[in-house]
Amino acid sequence: MSLIQVQMFSGRTPEQKRNLVRALTDAFVQTVGSTPDAVDVILTDIEKSDWARGGELFSDKVLGG
Amino acid sequence: MSLIQVQMFSGRTPEQKRNLVRALTDAFVQTVGSTPDAVDVILTDIEKSDWARGGELFSDKVLGG
Amino acid sequence: MSLIQVQMFSGRTPEQKRNLVRALTDAFVQTVGSTPDAVDVILTDIEKSDWARGGELFSDKVLGG
Amino acid sequence: MSLIQVQMFSGRTPEQKRNLVRALTDAFVQTVGSTPDAVDVILTDIEKSDWARGGELFSDKVLGG
Amino acid sequence: MSLIQVQMFSGRTPEQKRNLVRALTDAFVQTVGSTPDAVDVILTDIEKSDWARGGELFSDKVLGG
Amino acid sequence: MSLIQVQMFSGRTPEQKRNLVRALTDAFVQTVGSTPDAVDVILTDIEKSDWARGGELFSDKVLGG
C-alpha cells in the first residue's frame, strides 16, 4: 500500500487533477514497484492566504511562488 | 495523548460524525488504554474528485469506492 | 475510501495495535457505513520527547498525559 | 528545510494569520537555527463540528476548547 | 508551492527513493505546471505492522498489499 | 484546540526541541489568542535522504537546505 498526499495552491482544473493523479501513480509504480491499485492519491487545495514561506503569506508576496 | 485523524468522502451527516468520534474514541480507550479526554479526533472531508486509486479519481469511476 | 491516521505515544504491543486497528475499523463501519476493506489505518508512534502541550514536552512533565 | 502545519479552529482574521506565520517562523529560526526562507507554514482551518475531544465534538460542548 | 508527502512500506533502496522523488516531481511539473524547485517531496516509511486494511495489519495478512 | 505539527531535519538536541515547542506555543497564543494548554505540538524528524526539492534529495545536494 502507498499513499501520496499532495498539497498545492488552489485553482487547478478537473482535467489537470485527473492528469496529475495518473502521472503520480505511474511515477510511483515505475520507480519503486507496485501495482496502480495499491496507490492512493489525495489532493488538498491550499489558498495562498494559508501558506507562508519566510514568514510571509504567499498572498502577500509581490511574486507568488 | 493520542490523535486520530480521519479522511473520508464528504456527505456524512452531523449525527454520523457525532457517532463516529464517540465510537473511535471508545475503540481507542478500550484497546490500548487511555482516558477519553486524552484522545483528539479531527475529521476531514475529501471530495471524490480529490481522491484517486489506481491513477483514477473516484469521481471518474463507474463504481465509487 | 477512508483513511484513519493515529498518532500515539510509543510503547503499545503488537497485540494492542492489532486490536486497535480492528476496533477503529469496526467503529468506522458501524457508524458511518462502509465496508471494512475500504478503511485503511496507519499508526504512528510518537516519543514523549516529541509531543508537547502547554509549551512543555510530555517527557518533561511530572505526570505524563 | 522545515515545515510547520497548523490546524486550528476557523475564524481567525487575515491579519491574525499574517502575524501567526511570522511569529511561528521567528520562533523556529530563533530556537533551532535556520533561515526564514527555509521555513514553510501551512494553515488549515477546522470547524468545531469536525474536532472532538473525549469523544464529543467541540460544537456540542457547552464550553468550547 | 507544492508539497507531496508519500507514505509507503519500508524497504525501498536509496536509489529507488532517488528515482521516486525525481519522477514524482516531473509528474507534477508536467501535468499541473510549476517549476521543479517549487515542489517538495517528503517520504515516510511505514512498517507493515503499522498499516491495516479491512481491520487487519498487513504484517498479519497471508498476502501483503 | 490547536495542533502544530513540525517536520524538520533530524539532529536537533533535546534542549533545542524544548525551546522550540515553548516558542511555537508562545507565538501561537500571542498572535491568535488561546491558552497554552489548548496548543499541542508534535515534532517529526525527517532524514535528508527522505526530503527532496527540485526532484533531488537533500542528502544528494552539494549544499543542504
Does D31 fall in a domain? yes
| The pLDDT of residue E63 | 59
Does A65 fall in a domain? no
Q: Where residue C63 falls among pLDDT bands split at 50, 70, 90?
A: low
Does B40 fall in a domain? yes
Question: B49 to chain A, minimum CA–CA distance in Å?
Answer: 8
Are the CB atoms for A45 and E37 separated by under 8 Å? no
CATH number at residue E47: 3.30.429.10
Does C20 fall in a domain? yes
Separation of alpha carbons E3 and D60, rounded Å: 34
| The pLDDT of residue D1 | 87
Does C7 fall in a domain? yes
The CA-based dihedral angle spanning residues E3, E9, E13, E18, taken in that order and rounded to the nearest 10 degrees = -10
| The pLDDT of residue C50 | 98
| The pLDDT of residue B62 | 79
Kindly determine whether residue E54 and residue C25, on different chains, have CB atoms separated by under 8 Å.
yes
Number of domains forming the structure of chain A: 1
Tens of pLDDT, residues A11-31? 999 999 999 999 999 999 999
Kindly determine whether residue C28 and residue B16, on different chains, have CB atoms separated by under 8 Å.
no
The candidate with the shortest Cα–Cα distance to F33, out of E38, A62, D16, is D16
φ and ψ at D11, to 5 degrees?
Answer: 120, -5
Give CA separation, C20 vs A51, B23, B27, E56, F37, in Å: 35, 12, 7, 10, 27
Separation of alpha carbons E19 and A29, rounded Å: 11
Separation of alpha carbons D27 and D17, rounded Å: 15
Does D65 fall in a domain? no
Q: Do at least 3 CB pairs under 8 Å connect A with D? A: yes
Does B65 fall in a domain? no
Tens of pLDDT, residues A41-62? 999 999 999 999 999 999 999 7
Question: E55 to chain C, minimum CA–CA distance in Å?
Answer: 4
Residue E7 has pLDDT above 70, yes or no: yes
Are the CB atoms for A18 and A34 separated by under 8 Å? no
Domain that holds residue A47: 2-60
10-residue mean pLDDT profile of chain D (65 residues): values are 97 97 98 95 98 97 64
Residue pLDDT tens, chain B, 65 long: 899 999 999 999 999 999 999 999 999 999 998 899 999 999 999 999 999 999 999 999 975 44
Are the CB atoms for C64 and F60 separated by under 8 Å? no
Candidates F46, F55, F60; nearest CB to E25: F55
Does F65 fall in a domain? no
